Amino acid sequence: MKKIALVTGSSRGIGKAIALRLALDGHRVVINYYNKGANEESDRNRQEAQEVLTQMKSLGGDGIIIGADVSDSQAAQSLIDKTVEEYGQLDFLINNAGINQDQLLIRISDNDWNRIIQTDLNAAFYCCRAAVKHMIRKRFGRIINMSSIVGITGNAGQVHYSAAKAGVLGLTYSIAREYGNRGINANAVAPGYIQTDMTAKLNQEQVSKILSGVAVGRMGTPEDIAGVVSFLVSPQADYITGQVIRVDGGMAAM
C-alpha cells in the first residue's frame, strides 16, 4: 500500500536523494523547498524542486511540490495541512531541512545563533508537532529527524550547529517515548561528512584531514543516507524507535 511521505528541504542534496528513494519504494512524496516569497532564491529553489519531481516521475514515482519556510511556525503548519488536504493522510515525515555556518564561539552573534537554532531545531519541532496531530488519528506514523554526527560529538567551529543537532536527538527520543503507544515511531539519522553543497565548500586540505578520521576512507553520498531512511520507514523497522543511526563511514570507530 502506498504511503504519503513529506521530505522537507528536498529540492537538492540529501533531501532530494531521500525523496527519489521513497518514490522508488512506491510511496507518494511531497517535495518541499525553501520559499520565502517572491525572490530569486525562492524561484531557483522551486525550479530545482520541479526538476526533482520530473526525475521522480521519469522513474515511475509520483508526488507534488509545496514551497514553505519550515522555520516559520505557521508555514510549517500550513505545509502539513496542505499535504493532508491533498492526500488525506501523512504517513512519513522526514525533517531534513537545515543550514550550517562555521564560526568560532566568540564570533557567533545572537542573530547567527538564532538563525541556526530556528532552522535546524525549531523547524523540526514545528513540523513534528503539526504532523503528530494527524498521525494520532490514523494511529500510524514514521518520523525521521536529520541530526548530524556533530550533534553527538560536538565540533570546533560549529557550536550553534552542534547544539541544534543535539537538540534534534532529544526531540526524537521524547517523541518516541510520548507516542510509541499510538503507533508513531521516531528515529534520527546522524550523517557524517556527506557530499553536498555544504561540504563542497571545503578545500582539499580540509577534505584530506576529514577523511583521515573516516574508517572507509571516503565521504558519504546522499544515497547512503536515503537508504537508511528507506529502511527506517519500512515494515522491517517497525520495532525500531527512539534510536539515532550513525551514517558516518566509521568515524566513531577511529
Which of 145, 179, 3, 170 minimizes the C-alpha distance to 70? 145
Residue 161 annotated to the active site: yes
3-state SS track over the chain: CCCEEEECCCCCHHHHHHHHHHHHCCCEEEEEECCCCCCHHHHHHHHHHHHHHHHHHHCCCEEEEEECCCCCHHHHHHHHHHHHHHHCCCCEEEECCCCCCCECHHHCCHHHHHHHHHHHHHHHHHHHHHHHHHHHHHCCEEEEEECCCHHHHCCCCEHHHHHHHHHHHHHHHHHHHHHHHHCEEEEEEEECCECCCCHHHCCHHHHHHHHCCCCCCCCECHHHHHHHHHHHCCHHHCCCCCCEEEECCCHHHC
Residue 3 neighbours by CB under 8 Å, 6+ apart:
27, 28, 91, 92, 233
The active-site residue out of 161, 173, 179, 193 is 161
- Residue 199 · residue 219 · CB < 8 Å: yes
- Residue 151 · residue 166 · CB < 8 Å: yes
Cell of 155: 565540533
User: Which residues are catalytic, by number?
Assistant: 161
